Structure 1
Amino acid sequence: MAMTMTQKILADHAHLESVKPGQLILADLDGVLGNDITTPVAIAEFEKAGFDSVYDPEKINIVLDHFVPNKDIKAAKQSAACRTFCHKHEIPHFYDVGKMGIEHALLPEQGRVTAGDCLIGADSHTCTYGALGAFSTGVGSTDMAAGMATGKAWFKVPSAIKVELTGKLSPYVTGKDVILALIGQIGVDGALYQSLEFTGEGAHSLSMDDRLCICNMAIEAGAKNGIFPVDEKTLAFLTEHGASEPRIFEADPEAEYEKTVRIALDELEPVVSWPHLPENVHTAKDSNEIEIDQVVIGSCTNGRLEDMTAAYEILHGSHVKDGVRCIIIPATMDIYKQCIANGYLMAFIEAGAVVSTPTCGPCLGGYMGILAPGERCVSTTNRNFVGRMGDVTSEVYLASPYTAAYSATTGRISDPREFEGGNDHE
């Protein structure tokens, strides 16, 4: 039976010759992930079920990233529960303050995922790792608990949508614009419990950071996962980061897809997702009358080095407009150090921005950038639901790092293609 890339990975991990959409399978796991919010719940379920050991300490990843350094007593208790559990079960891949990073940027950087893996995480954006040719998806904390104990998880095999990408991205257009344009086209439920499988020469033209961003937001289209084919860029990335030996799965030529969506990368322009759904997509140039109060550049979607470089290109020699707060958050400590070495942090500070250690804080309205009533924020994060980043009357506009950084200098949503470089827009 012909299968898609995702279906082949799932069949392999279920020890089956083939699988079909809708089939229930029990699959072996190559990794389990939890963060400081979801892991304490998983620990409670783990202990409630009577488990006294994890299936393989080497395959468990616990990352403190949402509220660290801890913002209050509740956050401190959650982190303490994670520390105690990891110490008790001798889990080596525990990332605390000083080593932490935003989980979906950290695991690829640390070589914790490789091509052909099957991985679950108690966080909806676990679908990020499809950029590396892996099957990865978000689950609830109860499934995380079972996964830590048994090394297995139940899945319903997803059907798939083929996304054919052609051409190459133009200057100031990024992977964020690709995924927002796709969600704008198919809707937030357009790929409900399906696999988004990216193909075509355009897929190979994208950088790894762009692919990670695109797969990260597959869930915003309702998808079970997003996945890219493994190519030379993928293999080079895996080698650079010390990942284990890749296992390459390719879709069969006659594999069945629910539909095919075609996107010409060279025809895309910078876009912005208006409140209060990621599908509410408009061009940046048609959004330029919208004045803003805050800009956030970071998150598991756009906190990688290419994103920091994009912000630097705009902010170096420019200045954040008076009255706008610009918050920049490198996604991992290694990226933070690279920003220091490259001179980015000094440029950000001189431009009037503030820089934080890695945290998810503002993305989910936790801390480090809460919005007051009626305030507007351009953010490189992934969700813009009502009250997502603060007061229920505040508004979040999703955009790329180029668009966010340039908007910070103008005080309104602005098309980064208008940037002339080195101008002081204050």
Structure 2
Amino acid sequence: MGMTLAEKILAKASGKKEVSPGDIVMAKIETAMVHDITGPLTVNTLKKEGIKKVWDPEKIVVLFDHQVPADSINAAENHILMRKFVKEQGIKYFYDIREGVCHQVLPEKGHVVPGTVLVGADSHTCTHGAFGAFATGIGSTDMAAVFATGELWFKVPETLYFNITGELKPYVMSKDVILHIIGEVGADGATYKACQFGGETVKNMSIASRMTMTNMAIEMGGKTGLIEPDEKTIQYVKNAMKKHGTEKPFEVIKADEDAEYEEVFEVEVNDLEPMIACPHNVDNVKAVREVAGTPIDQVFIGSCTNGRLEDLRIAIKIIEEHGGIADDVRVIVTPASREVMLKAMEEGIIQKFYKYGCVVTNPSCSACMGALYGILGPGEVGVATSNRNFRGREGSLDSEVYLVSPATAAACAVKGEITDPRDL
């Protein structure tokens, strides 16, 4: 019996000819990432264990994105700790407060390549599976082990395959597809599974749209999200490495034709509507029209799920076509990276957001965490393009968060209430 994409990558990384679900393997890590929240925990663990040197300073990426600029004395102290660590260890790839969200910056800078194992001390590291890598989030203590040895053990996961077919209608985006899937599978329906997305719809998606899909694999419990690399993937990776001087060889790995999946889901999207995850669970998914008319206080467009250029483009297009945003709604826009911000400025997108009264922040995690900008107060309702809406995620325990696509978020901003973009 052949192997799935996840199995083949883990087999290669562990030096085995083949592996099967349930096997325990020790895999070599190609890229390891920490940010300003998880990095200090990793560094302190290394110090506690007496580890003096990391295994490879060129395979570690350190990035600040959660509390940038520092929003407290504690955050500033964490930044100081990590800057010192980077210098002491000679870590080549360090991105300070200016670059943006880790899951956008890593592929932009050429640190994500197909056929490898990538770990990050952040749960949404599964985003990078969009490039055909086995990418997964790990804890800071496990990351300390990776920093010390360059290896980590994994249980080989079963794979759920989502065969997505059909053509998305106008104002229906990949975010609507993944919300629909999570609503069907449930928040724990893919626990410790590899979630692989394929089919004609995925092939037709941009890299940015694919990243939205894999980003949210963790929201149904997935160990990783995966998309088999194609020419779009290869070209993106090569261009990113060339632009930033991070060239390295890589192998495109694909599943065997006779690979065995635990389950195959047929997802037909021709008639898919804009979807919305209602409070307070990501799998509480409905069609937007089912909750249309719900008054809102704030709209957030950004995050590692939907802060990319195509997301900003469609949002400002809708806002501009309908004359701006509602008077009693706050709109926070956060580009996912400095690169996205600069391109959006070149296209006049940022200027237009400002023109219509939106607040545009520096590239960061921003309102997704409710730690830096846009904290919701008691009784307030927020609409967000981010990936989680559990109670207190974006502020008060008594606030509510609805998750939507950038198109739907923009429509909500225009009307001041939950709105299907097709109904404007």
SS in 2 for 1:286: helix
Q: Please tell me the residue identity of whatever aligns with 2:173.
A: T
CA distance in 2, matches of 1:110, 1:265: 33
Q: Please tell me the residue identity of whatever aligns with 2:257.
A: P
Does the 8 Å CA contact 2:334/2:366 hold for their aligned counterparts? no
- Residue 390 (structure 1) aligned to one of 395, 400, 404: 395
- Once the two structures are TM-superposed, the CA of residue 168 in structure 1 deviates from its matched residue by 2.3
Q: Please tell me the residue identity of whatever aligns with 1:266.
A: N
1:81 matched residue in structure 2: 81
Q: What TM-score do you get using the length of structure 1 for normalisation?
A: 0.96
- Once the two structures are TM-superposed, the CA of residue 418 in structure 1 deviates from its matched residue by 2.4
Provide Cα deviations, 1:102-130, integer angstroms capped at 9, x if missing partner. Answer: 00011011111111121110000000011
CA distance in 1, matches of 2:326, 2:141: 46
Matched, 1:27 2:27: yes
- Once the two structures are TM-superposed, the CA of residue 266 in structure 1 deviates from its matched residue by 2.1
CA distance in 1, matches of 2:187, 2:97: 34
- Once the two structures are TM-superposed, the CA of residue 163 in structure 1 deviates from its matched residue by 0.4
- Once the two structures are TM-superposed, the CA of residue 36 in structure 1 deviates from its matched residue by 0.3
- Once the two structures are TM-superposed, the CA of residue 379 in structure 1 deviates from its matched residue by 0.1
- Once the two structures are TM-superposed, the CA of residue 233 in structure 1 deviates from its matched residue by 1.2
- Once the two structures are TM-superposed, the CA of residue 316 in structure 1 deviates from its matched residue by 2.3
SS in 2 for 1:58: coil
User: What RMSD over aligned residues (CA atoms) do the two structures have, in Å?
Assistant: 1.0
Q: Please tell me the residue identity of whatever aligns with 2:93.
A: H
Q: Please tell me the residue identity of whatever aligns with 1:346.
A: Q
- Once the two structures are TM-superposed, the CA of residue 16 in structure 1 deviates from its matched residue by 0.4
1:147 matched residue in structure 2: 146
CA distance in 2, matches of 1:227, 1:369: 32
Percentage identity across paired residues of the two chains: 44
Q: Please tell me the residue identity of whatever aligns with 1:249.
A: I
Instruction: Answer with 257-266 or 57-66: which moved more.
Output: 257-266
- Residue 302 (structure 2) aligned to one of 298, 301, 308: 298
Q: Please tell me the residue identity of whatever aligns with 1:161.
A: L
1:72 matched residue in structure 2: 72
- Residue 329 (structure 2) aligned to one of 324, 336, 347: 324
Instruction: Answer with 238-247 or 169-178: which moved more.
Output: 238-247
Instruction: Answer with 334-343 or 200-209: which moved more.
Output: 200-209
CA distance in 2, matches of 1:172, 1:368: 27
- Residue 258 (structure 1) aligned to one of 259, 262, 285: 262
- For 1:32-43, list aligned pairs within 5 A: 32-43=32-43
Q: What TM-score do you get using the length of structure 2 for normalisation?
A: 0.97
Q: Please tell me the residue identity of whatever aligns with 1:2.
A: G
- Once the two structures are TM-superposed, the CA of residue 240 in structure 1 deviates from its matched residue by 2.0
Count of residue correspondences? 418
Matched, 1:170 2:175: no
- Once the two structures are TM-superposed, the CA of residue 235 in structure 1 deviates from its matched residue by 1.3
1:160 matched residue in structure 2: 159
Q: Please tell me the residue identity of whatever aligns with 2:90.
A: E
Q: Please tell me the residue identity of whatever aligns with 1:134.
A: A
CA distance in 2, matches of 1:266, 1:55: 49
CA distance in 2, matches of 1:340, 1:82: 31
Q: Please tell me the residue identity of whatever aligns with 1:75.
A: A
Matched, 1:356 2:356: no
- Once the two structures are TM-superposed, the CA of residue 20 in structure 1 deviates from its matched residue by 0.8
Instruction: Answer with 168-177 or 34-43: which moved more.
Output: 168-177
CA distance in 2, matches of 1:372, 1:64: 26
Provide Cα deviations, 1:155-185, integer angstroms capped at 9, x if missing partner. Answer: 0110011100112222111111111000000
Matched, 1:371 2:376: yes
2:244 matched residue in structure 1: none
- Once the two structures are TM-superposed, the CA of residue 275 in structure 1 deviates from its matched residue by 0.5
Does the 8 Å CA contact 1:186/1:221 hold for their aligned counterparts? yes
CA distance in 2, matches of 1:251, 1:113: 19
SS in 2 for 1:62: strand
SS in 2 for 1:149: helix
Instruction: Answer with 217-226 or 259-268: which moved more.
Output: 259-268
- For 1:73-152, list aligned pairs within 5 A: 73-98=73-98, 100-152=99-151
1:308 matched residue in structure 2: 312
Does the 8 Å CA contact 1:315/1:347 hold for their aligned counterparts? no
Provide Cα deviations, 1:308-334, integer angstroms capped at 9, x if missing partner. Answer: 111121122521111100000001011
Matched, 1:282 2:281: no
1:60 matched residue in structure 2: 60
Does the 8 Å CA contact 1:111/1:241 hold for their aligned counterparts? yes
Runs of 4+ in 1 over 4 A off after TM superposition: none
SS in 1 for 2:61: strand
CA distance in 2, matches of 1:155, 1:379: 33
CA distance in 2, matches of 1:360, 1:217: 16
- For 1:228-267, list aligned pairs within 5 A: 228-242=227-241, 244-267=248-271
Q: Please tell me the residue identity of whatever aligns with 1:298.
A: G
CA distance in 2, matches of 1:262, 1:208: 22
Q: Please tell me the residue identity of whatever aligns with 1:30.
A: E
- Residue 334 (structure 1) aligned to one of 333, 339, 352: 339
1:423 matched residue in structure 2: none
Q: Please tell me the residue identity of whatever aligns with 1:205.
A: N
